[in-house]
Chain A
Amino acid sequence: MKRLAMMAVTVCGVAWGLSGTADAQAPMTLSPQDYIDIQQLTARYVYAVDHCTNSGYDYADLYTADGTFGVSTDWDKPGKVWAKGRDALARAGGGGPGGCKAKTPGSPGYGLHHVVTSETITPAVGGATGRSTLITLGVGGKPTNVEWQGGYQDFYVKTAQGWRIKTRWHVWIGMLDSIQFKANPLPAALIPDDAKAGTQP
């Protein structure tokens, strides 16, 4: 019984990782250039999100027009969508139609710097999936504070403009225990329903 339940979870996880595609198509074949282009896409992410360049639209334009960013409490598990579409994503990047919001002590993202490592890219039906580790520096407004903050689980698609993020989940196990949110608690509306304190690995 337990085994069946495990299998069901795994199957759901795979289907979710493939952005809901359930047909039997073979995964896309990625060329060396595709791997490089996807790496470049994820490398550009940190500058766009940390510096609100182009009013957050450099960040938004890393995604497809209907792209989403959300936060999840575990790998292979959907969570809460924080932003969908270009303007919402630009807001997630610190900007939006009204321009960049000033980051001051106590405001979300103040003093934070994203460091993304250990990226893996895997061909998938309709594109590619990605997984990486996120380390954040400057947590709680202190430049030398560092924190492991889980990582990213992505789905990429190749568009006429090049590779783009279709979905990015910030997988943050034990997020409620993080120094970041102890210092600046998250609004309840942004917390995934299954997030629990005391689960930081």
Chain B
Amino acid sequence: MGAIAVAALSAIAAVAQAAPALSVQDYIDIRRLVNSYPRKIDHCTNGGYDYADQYTADGTFGVSSAWGSAGKVWYRGRDQLADAAGGGPGGCRPNPWGGGGAHHHIITSIVITPTAEGATGKSTLISLGSGTIDNPPKIEWQGGYEDSFVRTPQGWRFKSRLHVWPGQDWPDTAAEQQARMKAQTTKKDAQP
């Protein structure tokens, strides 16, 4: 009986340890991180390093075809992540994800869940193209993001971000995707 009680208490303690509560400020800070993402990826600010610095030093960006799956890592670490944003050590270059035109990220419906390591996130991604009065911009639902966040001395950061687009046939590397897009100039643009 005593052992059961101890086990039960241990289980309760483990659960409590597994998912510590986030403070109101944590929610605000994580939302701010997520909401500042589009400006940094769409405009290659600071040579792509504003984008990279939203991640931890060993942070990753990847893609997946299904919610809740591991996916494929395309970028890891600061220089690679800056490259994902169209920049890197050599500075900004033409947007590698545009598919022939500018695309803008719109992120909505941000769900944040506490975890033992920090928090996880889920959000919806909408891509808005550019257009003219005679050729209005196209808008498209492109799945969303699954994130893991950790709190660092510099504040909350992405430990990993996966672009989840159900049903999308992703190649193994970003270079393959960019080559594919260049060839097809399709609207199915993979977007960090």
Interface, chain A (partner B; CB < 8 A): 32-33, 36, 40, 43-47, 51, 113, 115-117, 137-138, 143-144, 146
Closest Cβ of chain B to A164, distance in Å, is 16
Chain B proximity of A95: nearest CB distance (Å):
16
Question: Which of B138, B140, B141 has the most A CB atoms < 10 Å from its CB?
Answer: B141
Structural contact, A46 and B139, CB atoms closer than 8 A? no
Whether B126 pairs with A137 at a CB distance below 8 angstroms is yes
Given A137-B139, A143-B140: A32 in contact with B24 (beta carbons within 8 A): yes
- For the complex of A and B, the 7 pairs showing the least CB-CB separation, nearest first, are A113-B141, A137-B141, A32-B24, A43-B109, A43-B111, A46-B109, A144-B138
Shortest CB distance A147–B (Å): 11
In contact, B126 and A115 (Cβ under 8 angstroms): yes
Is there an interface contact between B110 and A43, defined as CB atoms closer than 8 Å? yes
Q: How many angstroms between the C-alpha atoms of A138 and B166 in the bound complex?
A: 14
| Complex contact A137–B140 (CB within 8 A) | yes
Q: Tell me the smallest distance from the CB of B175 to a CB of chain A, in Å.
A: 26
Residues of B within 8 A of A47 (CB): 67, 109, 111, 122
Candidates A33, A40, A115, A138; contact of B111 at CB < 8 Å: A40
Q: Give 1 or 0 for each of B170-192: 1 = CB within 8 Å of chain A CB.
A: 00000000000000000100000
Chain B residues closer than 8 Å to A138, beta-carbon distance: 141
Q: Using CB atoms, name the residue of chain B closest to A45.
A: B109
C-alpha gap A129/B104 in the complex (Å): 32
- If A43-B109, A113-B124 touch, whether A51 touches B141 (CB-CB below 8 Å) is no
> What is the number of residues of chain B that contact chain A, defined by CB distance less than 8 Å?
17
Known A36-B27, A115-B124: A144·B109 in contact at CB below 8 Å: no
On chain A, the residues within 8 Å of B122 by CB distance are: 47
Note all chain B residues with C-beta closer than 8 A to A137: 126, 139-141
| Residue in B24, B140, B187 whose beta carbon sits within 8 Å of that of A33 in the complex | B24
A146 to B24, CA, bound (A): 34
Report if B46 contacts A (CB, 8 A).
Answer: no
Chain A neighbourhood of B109, CB < 8 A: 43, 45-47, 115-116
Q: By the criterion CB–CB under 8 Å, are B140 and A144 in contact?
A: yes
**B24 adjacent to A36 (CB under 8 Å):** yes
Instruction: Enumerate chain B residues within 8 angstroms of A117, measured Cβ to Cβ.
Output: 108
Q: Quick check: is B112 within 8 A (CB to CB) of the other chain?
A: yes
Whether the pair A144, B139 counts as a contact (CB closer than 8 A) is yes
With A115-B126, A138-B141, A144-B138 already in contact, the answer to whether A44 and B111 are too (CB < 8 A) is: yes
Give A47 to B187 CA distance when docked, in angstroms.
23
Smallest distance from the beta carbon of A149 to chain B beta carbons, Å?
A: 14
Question: Binary interface profile of B, 122-136, with partner A (CB < 8 Å = 1, else 0)?
Answer: 101010000000000
Which of chain A's residues has its CB closest to B68's CB?
A53
In the complex, what residue of chain A is closest to B24 when comparing beta carbons? Answer: A32
Query: Is the beta-carbon distance between A115 and B140 smaller than 8 angstroms?
Result: no
In the assembled complex, how far is the CB of residue A193 from the closest CB belonging to chain B, in whole angstroms? Answer: 32
A116 to B106, CA, bound (A): 12
Residues of B within 8 A of A51 (CB): 67, 166
Expressed in whole angstroms, the Cα–Cα distance for A32 and B24 within the complex equals 7
Which residues on the A side are within 8 Å of B138 (C-beta)?
144
* Distance of A36 Cα from B122 Cα, bound (Å): 15
Measured in the bound complex, the distance between the Cα atoms of B139 and A137 in whole Å is 8
* Given A46-B124, A47-B122, A143-B140, 4 other A-B residues pairs in contact with their CB atoms under 8 A: A46-B108, A113-B141, A115-B141, A143-B141
Identify the closest chain A residue to B113 (Cβ): A40
Give the shortest distance, in Å, between A142 (CB) and chain B (any CB). 10
**Smallest CB–CB gap between A177 and chain B, Å?**
20
